[in-house]
Amino acid sequence: MQPARVVFCDLDILCIKHTPSQNSFLISINPMDSPNALSTAPAAGSRKNATLICVPIMGESVEKMEIDVDKAKAGGADLVEIRLDSLKTFDPYRDLNAFIQHRSLPLLFTYRPKWEGGMYDGDENKRLDALRLAMELGADYIDIELQVAHEFYDSIRGKTFNKTKVIVSSHNYQLTPSIEDLGNLVARIQATGADIVKIATTALDITDVARMFQIMVHSQVPFIGLVMGDRGLISRILSAKFGGYLTFGTLESGVVSAPGQPTLKDLLYLYNLRQLAPDTKVFGIIGKPVGHSKSPILFNEVFKSIGLNGVYLFLLVDDLANFLRTYSSTDFVGFSVTIPHKETALKCCDEVDPVAKSIGAVNCIVRRPTDGKLIGYNTDYVGAITAIENGLRGKHNGSSTTISPLAGKLFVVIGAGGAGKALAYGAKAKGARVVIANRTYDHARKLAYAIGGDALALADLDNYHPEDGMILANTTSIGMQPKVDETPVSKHALKYYSLVFDAVYTPKITRLLKEAEESGATIVTGLEMFMGQAYGQYENFTGLPAPKELFRKIMENY
């Protein structure tokens, strides 16, 4: 059989066509007329994909595992994986029979040996005997490693197991092989007679996942394709878009059977996994680190509430240019950009909004559907400056003058990166006198020269107080979780500032803000900047006005 070529047709339905080329892997989307032509999400409660959610169950006793099976069912799982290798003691007939007789969900039995990343370190024949027994007792699925699959199939030849589907699996804990090697691996697994092919690899870069997606959409048999690690997270979510047989979600955060597994709750409620379809558009927050961001919470909830057929992901990206080249389909619609990629993003876009060009940084990238070109924007400066102005106006009893309350103020910006540039640009445009403080003085000097301000080294900021009533804006990651005890400025220096803003919003009240408030300054949290820049990003992504009240309602709980 020739490999399949995947094309998204006029109605945005996933279509499979055969092509003669052995290396023809193409995923394409029929362009939409405009960004706000995003299709409507399916009605709540419906299911738009067949991808199953499997909860791995690990425990030292059968009793504990049975409790967790019930939790998985209550939480909305489709099936559970019973990790027999995690049991402290294991009586095959007694324990397998107990699981099967009392099952409330379909059961996948895995008895993973140490040589394949599991915990079992005993007799191999006894391990395989237990898996054969599981089939005889009526298991829904068993998982057998490729290395022993032929031997296992030889041992059951001539026997009939109508109920049990056999998953033949391969795990690579070092890397993700080339597309050719992955294709050959699929062929080897298929040759064993597997009912379901499972390949799990390791992401050294987020672009490794694209190769797994290519294999997934071309597979001629049920296929489980997962890429382990934080850089592989998108494989576990977009499996539902690209046709994966199942994905894994844990009962608790951090209690995983493989690196990078999200929780069952996040799959169902954060990523709305059962609503994902071949025509679902992909958005995300690009950064390093990125796990602290609240953008996925906000945008996914907005998409769900308004009915837009999109999903918003955490994208841990090392090389921005490589990422954008790899995920070049118009299905990947738009990206928020955070530290450290905002300045690099400027160079990666085909076109840049004049404001972003003046700032020298991009925090929002949109792929134009008509030609696939990347358009860069900067919404940071509006979000932050508006929040600071509102803070100052509140301090002066809501003055409604059209002149910015920043006019004439001495505005100290900590940081000379993308966010620092945005704040410096915005403050200067409002008539403030801007000073840039940075750990690397040369970077501060360059930015100060570009916007017509002054510069100083961050180490000198504690002793900098030419006047009272200054404004301080931290645009660095100092004080962000998990390093919440850090602060860029000593408390004794904060008495000279009338308002202090911190772009960090995890935690909401940083050490800097706490000490500034104790020193008598008005404080403005990074959450205000986050909301302001998110409005602009939403409008760039969709072409629709931002539902600001909905945004604020969603973030009230965070």
| CATH code of the domain in which 510 resides | 3.40.50.720
Vertex 290, ends 287 and 296: CA angle to 5°? 105
CA distance 108 to 131: 10
Same domain, 58 and 182: yes
CA distance 444 to 417: 9
For residue 511, being part of any structural domain is answered with: yes
Q: What are the pLDDT digits (tens) for 171-204?
A: 999 999 999 999 999 999 999 999 999 999 999 9
CA distance 508 to 290: 16
Same domain, 385 and 272: no
* Residue that finishes a domain, picked among 276, 294, 309: 276
For residue 454, being part of any structural domain is answered with: yes
Instruction: State residue 1's pLDDT score.
Output: 33
CA distance 149 to 167: 10
Q: Give just the sign of the alpha carbon dihedral 542, 543, 544, 546.
A: positive
Under the banding of pLDDT at 50, 70 and 90, the label for residue 12 is: very low
* Residue that finishes a domain, picked among 276, 303, 328: 276
Instruction: State residue 40's pLDDT score.
Output: 54
Instruction: State residue 39's pLDDT score.
Output: 56
Of the residues 95, 143, 171, 218, only one is catalytic, namely: 171
Instruction: State residue 46's pLDDT score.
Output: 73
Under the banding of pLDDT at 50, 70 and 90, the label for residue 8 is: very low
Q: E strands of 404-487, at which residues?
A: 410-414, 433-438, 454-457, 470-474
Domain with residue 210: its CATH number is 3.20.20.70
Q: What are the pLDDT digits (tens) for 250-301?
A: 999 988 888 899 999 999 999 999 999 999 999 999 999 999 999 999 999 9
Active site residue 159: no
CB environment 39-69: b (16+ within 10 A), e (fewer) = bebbeeeeebbebbbbbbbbbeebeebbebb
Instruction: State residue 5's pLDDT score.
Output: 31
Instruction: State residue 228's pLDDT score.
Output: 98
Same domain, 69 and 202: yes
Overall residue count recorded for the chain in this entry: 558
For residue 20, being part of any structural domain is answered with: no
Task: Domain of residue 459: give its range.
Answer: 381-524
Same domain, 269 and 143: yes
CB 292 within 8 A of CB 549: no
Instruction: State residue 512's pLDDT score.
Output: 98
Under the banding of pLDDT at 50, 70 and 90, the label for residue 397 is: low
Q: What are the pLDDT digits (tens) for 313-327?
A: 999 999 999 999 999
For residue 35, being part of any structural domain is answered with: no
pLDDT beyond 80 at 337: yes
pLDDT beyond 60 at 343: yes
Of the residues 68, 380, 430, 502, only one is catalytic, namely: 380
Q: Give just the sign of the alpha carbon dihedral 102, 108, 113, 119.
A: negative
Which positions ≥6 away from 365 have C-beta within 8 Å?
A: 286, 324, 334, 335, 337, 345, 348, 349, 374, 375, 376, 377
Of the residues 48, 198, 241, 430, only one is catalytic, namely: 198
Q: Residue 223 forms beta bridges with which residues?
A: 197
Same domain, 225 and 81: yes
Same domain, 392 and 506: yes
Of the residues 304, 342, 409, 430, only one is catalytic, namely: 342
pLDDT beyond 80 at 28: no
Q: What are the helix (H) ranges across 122-207?
A: 124-136, 146-156, 179-191
Give the pLDDT mean for 543-554. 95
Same domain, 208 and 62: yes
Active site residue 380: yes
Which positions ≥6 away from 169 have C-beta within 8 Å?
A: 116, 143, 144, 145, 146, 189, 198, 199, 200, 224
The candidate with the shortest Cα–Cα distance to 247, out of 236, 256, 258, is: 236
For residue 480, being part of any structural domain is answered with: yes
The candidate with the shortest Cα–Cα distance to 384, out of 432, 434, 345, 427, is: 427
CA distance 528 to 302: 17
Q: What are the helix (H) ranges across 102-145?
A: 124-136
CA distance 402 to 212: 55
Under the banding of pLDDT at 50, 70 and 90, the label for residue 102 is: very high
What is the three-class DSSP state of 40? strand
CB environment 149-163: b (16+ within 10 A), e (fewer) = beebeeebeeeebee
Q: What are the pLDDT digits (tens) for 103-162?
A: 999 999 999 999 999 999 999 999 999 999 999 999 999 999 999 999 999 999 988 888
Residue whose structure tokens are 């892997």 = 25
The candidate with the shortest Cα–Cα distance to 490, out of 469, 455, 518, 467, is: 518
CA distance 82 to 545: 47
Q: Residue 107 forms beta bridges with which residues?
A: 80
pLDDT beyond 90 at 395: no
For residue 332, being part of any structural domain is answered with: no
For residue 475, being part of any structural domain is answered with: yes
Active site residue 553: no
Instruction: State residue 547's pLDDT score.
Output: 96
Q: Name the domain count of the chain.
A: 2
Q: Which residue has the higher pLDDT, 350 or 37?
A: 350
Under the banding of pLDDT at 50, 70 and 90, the label for residue 38 is: low
Give the pLDDT mean for 333-351. 97
Which positions ≥6 away from 337 have C-beta within 8 Å?
A: 285, 286, 287, 320, 345, 362, 363, 364, 365, 418
CA distance 139 to 224: 19
CB 217 within 8 A of CB 245: no
* Residue that finishes a domain, picked among 276, 306, 336: 276
Instruction: State residue 160's pLDDT score.
Output: 86
For residue 305, being part of any structural domain is answered with: no
CA distance 344 to 206: 17
pLDDT beyond 70 at 531: yes
Active site residue 171: yes
What is the three-class DSSP state of 65? helix
For residue 282, how far is the Cα from the chain centroid?
11
Strand pairing report for 332-337 and 310-316: unpaired
Across all residues in the chain, what is the average pLDDT?
Answer: 91
Instruction: State residue 19's pLDDT score.
Output: 31
Q: Rg (Cα) of the chain, in Å, rounded? A: 27
Same domain, 271 and 396: no
CA distance 267 to 265: 6
